Structure 1
Amino acid sequence: MKEVLSVHDIIDSDNYISPKFRSDDNIKIKSNDDYYQFYKKSIENIGDYWAGVASELYWFKKWDINMHGDFPDFKFFLNGYSNVCFNCIDRHALKNPDKTAIIWLSEDGLERKMDYRSLMIYTSKFASYLRSIGIKKGDVVAIFMPNRIESFIAVHACYRIGAIYNIIFSGFSTKALLDRLYETMPKVIITADKTVRRGKVINIKEKLDSIINNVKSIQKVIIVKRFVDTSLNKNEVSFEDVLKETNDLIDPVHIEANEPGFVIYTSGTTSRPKGIVHSGIGFMVGAYHNVKYALDLNKSDVYWCTADIGWLTFPIFELVGGLAHGATVVAYEGALDFPGIDNFYNTLEKYKINKLFTAPTFLRMLARYGNETASKYNIKLDLISLVGEPLDTKTWYWAHDTFGADINNTYGQTETGSAWTSSIVGATYMRPGSAGLPLPGHAFKIIDDTGKEVKTGEAGTLVITKPFPSLARSIWNDHNKYINQYFSVFPNFYCTYDSAIKDKFGHIWVIGRTDDVINVSGHRISTMEMENSIMSVPDISEAAVIGIDHEIKGTVPYVFFTSKNTDNEIKNKISSAIESSIGRFAMPEKIIMIPEMPKTRSGKIMRRLLKEIVMHGDVSGDITGLENPDSINIIKNAINNQK
């Protein structure tokens, strides 16, 4: 068997890969040496640095103070006025009106394109309608939508008039939908009648109809009609009729840089999900900056972010960050691999997509199909950027070699409003498996339980030491919870609750949640390290490791994996790989093959559900973010059959 390197072996090695893709002239960092100098200067005066970034966008009134205050209550661009919609749409429509802004596709073969001029007109019309029914700055508008062009219009219409929007993932259950509506109390909700996924028609409006009488704040429901047979109830109006019958266009409202722009909910575990509040302008500045360095979008690019609009990845990298750069973006409704993986590859080829943002889980799925399928298509990818969870080195090399593209694995959270660790595309070295370098303007430390910074190569808790514009400003209706949640563990620092290592090149390796580090008989084992070892075994498609309490050893690892190979010998190969790369002390208590992993729509494996099934035989925590609810019973049966 081929020697398996541990994560620490990989981190400690001198292995790095120079970029093939060369960045555009708008990125001043051209090499690793440039980066180190640029980064150091950027965090010496955070306020001045972000003022420089913000100056690349349009402001109606220049701010008085670059940065005011510190954690937990900080402000950027104080008394500066701008508008997200103007910067993402109008600014480009006035310069290049015929440029395609959005290419919308769906799994059932539909296609629409919209240029920046049309996007500006429709967004202005829809904003005018919202204003006409009484929506004003600071009012809440709920958006319960799949990936549609109308979703772009709805969000930016809210930005245009200063309404606070709350995007709710269209795959949520009625209870999850009700919880979010009840808490934010929107005046208007925008939704679709139905959507399609894996060949099925899913009735979204039906979910809303079943709970809407419990949300007394809603005065109007606006329906995007995908199917002509949809009938409307009282207080409902079709999106199409709104645009057809509204003739007034309105200018963007001047919004102060620190006013709230939107609320987005984190996934819950056993507790209620948290409504994270982001500043609209601050988020825009951060997303613009993030896309600039992690994607280097330019006029000739056709770019596709495969995430769902209900997860913050899509607003950062496409809805706001992508449009802020005047890019041509692809929005896709449905499952990427339906009716087969050829659908995904055909989309890349047909629309000449050269930059892709997706999840590590999706790359692992592509790898499972191998090179043969990919080789049938003429694909010209320059760059694949990713976020969501750690990317194993096996999949990294497969994607790099198969597509000939640079691979940029990034790291961020809903709360950070950006994937703030990343390669500077076209400039800095790539380290397979790392989450890249801290982007300029983002100061951090990796510390132990006492708050002392750990040495290079040692694991600790990743904390952010200085504010930046896209960092969350509060939790909806509970600012004290915001302070206690993020700033009480290490006073004066924002706690990510993630465990990480900084290597000798300055790259950050996020190795899991701080509670995902398994302590076996005094040995601390990273779940990422174990999963990386497992993924080195041929025929393994995906792997997840959890820690289960043990009365003698403290905690023991349970391994879950998926594979097309049903040979019992594969479990022995997994054991050998773990022993070889980490040591015998890390040997799993159980190795369980399951048909599929429980995942969110954004591609994250929900490891806590696996832990609940092992410990309690069932799932009692929140599963509203689960992409495949049927997987729960399938996994339960697999576990019971292998006890």
Structure 2
Amino acid sequence: MTDSSSGRPERIPTPPGVLARLRYDPQADIEQARTDPEGFWLGQAGHFEWSKPPTSALKWERPRHEWFADGETNITLNALDRHARGEARTRAALIWISEDEQAHIYTYGTLHDRVSRFAAGLQSIGVRRGDRVVIYMPLTPEGVIAMLACARIGAVHSVVYAGLGVGALRDRIEDAGARVVITANHGYRRGKIVDLYSVAAEAIGDLVSVDYLVLLERGEGMHRERESRTVDFNELMKRGRAEAVPVGAEDPLFILYTSGSTGKPKGVIHTHGGYMVGTSYHMKAFLDVHPGDVFFCTSDIGWIVGHSYIVYGPLVSGSTIMFREGAPDYPDPGVLWRLIEKFGVDVLFTAPTTLRMFMKLGEGVLAPYDLSSLRLVACAGEALNPEAWRWAQEHVAGGQGEGAHAVVVDNWWQTELGAPTIGTHGRWPARPGFAGKPLAGVDADVVDENGDPVATGQQGLLVIRTPFPSMMRGVHGNEEKYNAAWSENPAGYTSGDLAMKDEYGYISILGRTDDVLSVAGHRIGSADVEDALVSHPAVAEAAVIGIPDPVKGEAIIANVILRQGFEGQVGRGLRASITEHVRRELGPIGAPAEIRVVDALPKTRSGKIMRRVLRAQALGQDPGDLTTLEG
């Protein structure tokens, strides 16, 4: 169905039965945050334990902003201690599911004990407040424990997704200046063992700044020589218990690397106070998750969704988070839905890629399972296309009529923003193809290059005019890159996304303005892939683009110019060699789906590669204005 005036999808109301199941209405919050942002955010901060309560919310002198700056706390006081002291002590904090579907449950009391023990272990090897620790772990409870243990003693963790390769891991260790790296001997993926220890050991190689490599042994353990700096994860658990170290609200909590269009990935900094208040607020206000609810997030701790909505948001909020190691369709396509039924999941947070995968497999995969416990399904990480929304609303949420038990909601945010920023709240009508409207405390707009709002229905740049608590505080070691995000456009923080606003205030995300690729919900910079390509001995120059993929969102196409002497060797073997080289350097998400050998790349007269021309050629489209193309 469409609007008769515009031809676009109409606003689809949430079924009345679903509205009755939703517990939180944010409308009053949105109004208060607009008229009294100071009072609103101080009120939200008042829900938590502080060693020293803050007396003010925002201090802002563009581009710098601070939140609750005179307050002191530690995020683990609110994620662990306050729950472990009360009736929530025996409540499930974590439900971890192994790839073979074995469930391991950690109560708040148990998790508090494990984190306190590992925090003491880290202190015993010299980790102190402000030190950086890189975590290269599979999606396991020990990975979560390592994150919380760092936070507990005021150390700054930097989680690196365990699918990334040696080069990507080494770059992040060096940039963060990490003294300790935490890893496991292996992870599991589709029934196969994924070696992590060898990658970590090679990555630290001659990095004299790294003092220790902490190793968690899983399964059958090690059958090879250990790096001399290796210490045992479980041995560190035997060195006492550590109390939470009070830190300033603006003390760094973690550094998380995200891809940019040029240069190395940037290390986004989030802090204890504002990140805690912002992420936990959206647990109740947007995701409608409350203490005692079972919340299933299919992300990974290597990404911002995993930080915010596997670890900190759910635990601070006192809910039960369920997460699983392994692919969502292995060992069979029913595993995800079987777990939802078995554990009575209330809210599911997943990626559009996952929904599109099941859409391709067909609704018969879901048919054997009772999904009626679900009341909300949230999607983020990339654009949720209208077809996937409609399929999920019909087959996961029960349709749009009286039989509906849930609602599918879209939302948009970034590593830099920490929490949902634009979204379609479950109480609002859906606009398939539109992420939604600005949430409480968010002043977002679509503007032109001068910062002026564009007309309704016109494409423009998505900006955020004023900061909110969960936004990043900086880029590690690169103040210039942080400042650029606030100076590129006069209107405010520049997201790097193109967008369009409709007459109802809903915003549709149209794509990136830079050269960042989105593969299965994971952002990876074109520069990262190109750097890996040209480090292969056969590749002289490279340019990569993303083209639409019905499941992954985008597939990477690499255009390469070969070095002299390799021109006559073009074939399957060379392409495989290049692909495997990139896979080793960046991990599977950076591996090109196709390698095209070319004689030249389209460039401007100043030498910049015109990727839009390559993209247009790949899609059979008009490349547009070519007046700046090199002759």
What does 1:556-571 align with in structure 2 at a 5 Å threshold?
560-562=548-550
The 8 Å contact of residues 70 and 249 in structure 2, kept in 1 or not, is answered as yes
* Separation in structure 2 between the aligned mates of residue 155 and residue 559 of structure 1, nearest angstrom: 35
* Matching of residue 73 in structure 1 with residue 64 in structure 2: yes
Deviation by residue 1:337-396 (Cα, 9 ceiling, x = unmatched): 112212222222222223110001110111112221211112222111010111111111
Alignment of 1:10-89 (within 5 A): 10=8, 13-18=10-15, 20-22=17-19, 27-29=24-26, 35=27, 38-89=29-80
Q: Does 1:110 align with 2:107?
A: no
Q: What secondary structure sits across from 1:314 in the alignment?
A: helix
Question: Contact 2:92/2:108 (CA < 8 Å) preserved in 1?
Answer: yes
* 1:386 and 2:379 matched: yes
Give the equivalent residue in structure 1 for 2:414: 413
User: Unaligned regions of 5+ residues in structure 2, if any?
Assistant: 399-405, 519-525, 527-544, 563-569, 599-614, 621-631
Q: Relative to structure 1, is the Cα distance of residues 497 and 233 closer, same or farther in structure 2, using a 3 angstrom cutoff? A: closer
How many angstroms apart in 2 are the aligned matches of 1:561 and 1:264? Answer: 27
User: Distance in 2 between the 1:625 and 1:407 partners?
Assistant: 33
Give, in angstroms, the shift of residue 614 of structure 1. Answer: 9.4
Which residue identity is paired with 2:77?
F
Q: Structure 1 residue 303: deviation in Å? A: 1.3
1:129–1:287 distance in 2 versus 1, CA, 3 Å: same
For 2:236, the aligned partner's letter is V
- 1:424 matched to 2:425? The reply is yes
Alignment equivalent of 1:294, drawn from 286, 289, 296: 286
Q: What's the Cα RMSD here?
A: 3.3
Partner of 2:331: 339
Amino acid at match of 2:287: L
Equivalenced residue count is: 551
Alignment TM-score, normalising by the size of structure 2: 0.80
Q: Does 1:374 align with 2:366?
A: yes
Please give the alpha-carbon distance, in whole angstroms, between the structure 1 residues aligned to 2:175 and 2:477: 8
With over 3 angstroms needed to count, the CA separation of the structure-2 counterparts of 1:8 and 1:393, relative to structure 1, is: farther
* Matches of 2:511 and 2:16, distance apart in 1: 27
Q: Label 1:641 to 1:422 Cα distance change in 2 as closer, same or farther (>3 A).
A: closer
TM-score, with length taken from structure 1: 0.79
Post-superposition offset of 1:448:
1.2
Q: Which residue of 1 aligns with 2:84?
A: 93
2-structure distance, mates of 1:66, 1:629: 40
What SS does the corresponding residue of 2:394 show, helix, strand or coil? Answer: helix
2:235 is aligned with 1:234: no
In the alignment, which residue of structure 2 is the partner of 1:9?
7
Q: CA deviation at 1:251?
A: 1.7
8 Å Cα contact 1:418-1:470 kept in structure 2: yes
For 2:135 and 2:254, locate their aligned partners in 1 and report how far apart those are by CA, in whole Å. Answer: 11
Asked if the contact 1:143–1:168 (Cα under 8 Å) also holds between the matched residues in 2, the reply is: yes
**Deviation of the 1:176 alpha carbon:** 0.3
1-structure distance, mates of 2:5, 2:157:
41
2:448 and 2:109 map into 1 onto residues whose CA distance is 53
TM-aligned CA distance change 1:238 to 1:491, over 3 Å: same
- 1:498 matched residue in structure 2: 497
Question: How many angstroms does 1:38 deviate by?
Answer: 4.0
SS at match of 1:375: coil
Which residue is 2:250 aligned to?
Answer: 258
Out of 391, 394, 411, the residue aligned to residue 398 of structure 1 is 391
2:159, 2:330 → 1: CA distance?
Answer: 25
Partner AA of 2:423 in structure 1: S
Q: Kindly state the Cα deviation for residue 9 of structure 1 after the two structures are TM-superposed.
A: 3.1
CA contact (8 A) 2:451 2:490 kept: no
**Maintained 8 Å contact 2:582/2:591:** no
Correspondences of 1:128-143 after superposition (within 5 Å): 128-143=120-135
Distance 1:126 1:490, change over 3 A: same
Asked if 1:172 corresponds to 2:172, the answer is no
Whole-Å separation in 2 of the counterparts to 1:642 and 1:503 = 28
Shift of the 138–622 alpha-carbon distance from structure 1 to 2, 3 Å rule, reads: farther
Task: Name the amino acid aligned to 2:459.
Answer: A
> Aligned runs of 1:177-576 on 2, under 5 Å?
177-230=169-222, 232-243=226-237, 245-246=238-239, 248-269=240-261, 271-380=263-372, 381-403=374-396, 404=398, 405-425=406-426, 427-484=427-484, 486-491=485-490, 493-514=492-513, 560-562=548-550
Once residues 386 and 320 of structure 1 are traced to their aligned partners in structure 2, the CA distance between those partners, rounded to angstroms, is 18
Q: Residues 319-347 of structure 1, C-alpha deviation per residue, up to 9 Å, x if partnerless?
A: 10111111111121111111221222222
SS at 1:117 equivalent: helix
What is residue 535 of structure 2 aligned with on the other side? none
- 2: distance between equivalents of 1:470 and 1:351? 30
User: What is the CA–CA distance in structure 2 between the aligned matches of 1:388 and 1:316, rounded to whole Å?
Assistant: 13
Superposed displacement of residue 4, structure 1 = 9.6
> Given that residues 71 and 466 in structure 1 are in contact (C-alpha distance below 8 angstroms), is that contact kept between their aligned partners in structure 2?
no
Q: 1:193 to 1:452 in 2, by over 3 A?
A: same
Q: Structure 1 residues 41, 456: CA separation in 2 closer, same or farther (over 3 Å shift)?
A: farther
What's the CA shift string for 1:387-416, capped at 9, x where partnerless?
A: 011111111111111122201110001111
Q: Which amino acid aligns with 2:184?
A: A
For residues 554 and 22 of structure 2, the distance between their equivalents in structure 1, rounded to whole angstroms, comes to: 40
Query: Which structure 1 segments of 5+ residues have no match?
Result: 30-34, 518-526, 529-545, 547-556, 563-596, 600-604
Counterparts of 1:509 and 1:138, CA distance in 2: 39
**CA 194–489 in structure 1, closer or farther in 2 if over 3 Å, else same:** same
Q: What's the CA shift for 1:234?
A: 2.8
Secondary structure of residue in 2 paired with 1:334: coil
Change (3 A) 1:459 1:641: closer
CA distance in 1 between partners of 2:92 and 2:439 (Å): 29
Which whole-Å deviations, capped at 9, do the CAs of 1:142-180 have from their partners, x for residues lacking one? 111111101111111111111011001111110001101
Give matches, 1:137-176, under 5 Å.
Answer: 137-176=129-168
CA contact (8 A) 2:138 2:186 kept: no
Contact persistence 2:134–2:181 (CA under 8 A): yes
The Cα shift of 1:197 comes to 0.4
1:7–1:107 CA distance, 2 compared to 1 (3 A): farther
131-140 vs 173-182, which deviates more? 131-140
Q: Secondary structure, in 3 states, of the residue corresponding to 1:340?
A: coil
Whole-angstrom CA distance in 2 between matches of 1:74 and 1:393:
36
Please tell me the residue identity of whatever aligns with 1:107: E
Given that 1:434 and 1:510 are in contact with CA atoms closer than 8 Å, whether structure 2 keeps it comes out as yes
**How far 1:490 moved relative to its partner?**
1.1
Q: Distance in 1 between the 2:554 and 2:549 partners? A: 13
2:593 to 632, 635, 640: 632
Q: Secondary structure at the match of 2:152?
A: helix
1:119 maps onto 2:117 in alignment = no
